[in-house]
Amino acid sequence: MILVLVPDIRLDSPEYKQLLAYLANLPGISTRVHTEVGVEQSLIEVYLIGNTKTLSIEDISNLPCVDRVVRISEEYRVLGRHRNDDRPTHFEYNGIRFGQDTLHVFAGLCAVDTLEHVEMMMKVLSDHGQVCTRMGAYKPRTSPYSFQGHGKACLPYVFDLAGKYGIKVIAMEVTHESHVEEIREALHQTGDPTGVMLQIGTRNTQNFELLKIVGRQQDFPVLIKRGFGITLDESLNAAEYLASEGNRKVIFGLRGMKTNMGDPHRNFVDFAQVPVVKRLTRMPVCIDPSHSVGARAQSPEGILDMMHVTAQGVIAGANMILADFHPVPGKALVDGPQAMLIKEFPHFLEDIRIAREAYQQRTALAEHYREV
């Protein structure tokens, strides 16, 4: 059960203390308090953990400071969508709103290689009004002999250039807790010119200790990718690890499943589950066409498979697109064969716009039929 308290309640107020004292006396029930500090107001939610079945919603609603009560199912307690649950499905980070109703494109380098390539990429983003990107500094690689990413050495120039080109959020994978500290430190040293969304890659979806550490910090939002060989439920529980530790600025990423049933795509594209994740949880949903398709194949109409699947995800309501681009894919140190070309970027954006409009028309149509 979740008690959503009235906004801006003071933790030292007598009413709040009275509420906690009452809850502390409930047998077999423990509480966990979550504070969400927003720009306009602070919201406190109190989670009651234990056997809450016998509690009456009416009695609890009448306790001091309680605005409303949500009875939750066992699954995905924090991030899940529960019955009569009108808690927000969005969050703000560095001036950008991420929600189940927004759409942001994170096009960029799979792996940072040179300063020149980072600058070329950021320039094209800025020329097209984009404020988000992806830049991999820490790369989990199948072979220990493959390029592992430049790590913290590249962070200062990546952040400086982001500031120069007005980039507000960079999605960046972390594979170890030390990376979070290195990112924080480099942002600080460069004067916080941009923001970072920490990415948990598919190989780490169930790295529970990493999830707990990333979940305990609240400076950075998190993009968690679906594990490529586990069920959706297992991956959603992994996301819940982040939230249960305190960080609810979580976006869930679909990136295809590892099975040769998807051949000739690198992974079996799973974007049909965009609406499923939106129904089961309040997380915005990201799609990654690059790691799903993994190749520059195209259909007879001259549309890349990566663009087709992006459109399929967007028309189904995706909220974020993570896509690999590279100025000179032949020189990319990671995933060159799946990088889209800089000259394809305007086409990519236009195609997304068409798919997004179609999605909006579809939701309006659904609304119309719900009313008749």
Using the contact rule CB under 5 A, the part of the chain among 44-52, 59-67, 103-111, 242-250 near Mn ion is 103-111
In eight-state DSSP terms, residue 111 is S
Q: Strand locations in the chain, DSSP E?
A: 2-5, 29-37, 42-50, 66-70, 90-93, 96-99, 104-108, 132-134, 169-173, 195-200, 222-225, 250-254, 285-287, 320-326, 340-341
Regarding beta strands 2-5 and 66-70, do their DSSP bridges make them parallel or antiparallel, or are they unpaired? antiparallel
Q: Which does 201 bind (CB under 5 to 8 A by kind): ligand PEP, Mn ion, none?
A: ligand PEP
Phi/psi of residue 256, nearest 5 degrees: 90, 155
Q: Is 173 in the site for Mn ion (CB under 5 A)?
A: no
Q: Is 351 in the site for Mn ion (CB under 5 A)?
A: no
Q: Which does 182 bind (CB under 5 to 8 A by kind): ligand PEP, Mn ion, none?
A: none
Q: Encoding tokens for residue 357?
A: 């409009």
- For the CB of residue 19, give the shortest distance to Mn ion in the complex, in Å: 48
- With a CB cutoff of 8 Å and minimum separation 6, the contacts of 114 are none
Q: Which amino acid is located at 326 in the chain?
A: H
Q: Pick between residue 136 and residue 313 the one whose CB is nearest to ligand PEP.
A: 136
- For the CB of residue 103, give the shortest distance to ligand PEP in the complex, in Å: 19
In eight-state DSSP terms, residue 331 is G
CA-nearest of 308, 296, 291 to 348 is 308
Number of residues that bind Mn ion (CB under 5 A): 2
- For the CB of residue 325, give the shortest distance to Mn ion in the complex, in Å: 12
Q: Is 335 in the site for Mn ion (CB under 5 A)?
A: yes
Q: Site residues (CB under 6 A) for ligand PEP?
A: 110, 136, 173, 201-203, 225, 255, 288, 291
Report the C-alpha gap between 93 and 124 in whole angstroms: 23
Q: Is 110 in the site for Mn ion (CB under 5 A)?
A: yes
Q: Which does 195 bind (CB under 5 to 8 A by kind): Mn ion, ligand PEP, none?
A: none
- For the CB of residue 100, give the shortest distance to Mn ion in the complex, in Å: 26
Q: Which does 81 bind (CB under 5 to 8 A by kind): ligand PEP, Mn ion, none?
A: none
Report the C-alpha gap between 205 and 211 in whole angstroms: 8
Q: Is 340 in the site for Mn ion (CB under 5 A)?
A: no
- For the CB of residue 322, give the shortest distance to ligand PEP in the complex, in Å: 6
Which residue minimizes CB distance to ligand PEP? 201
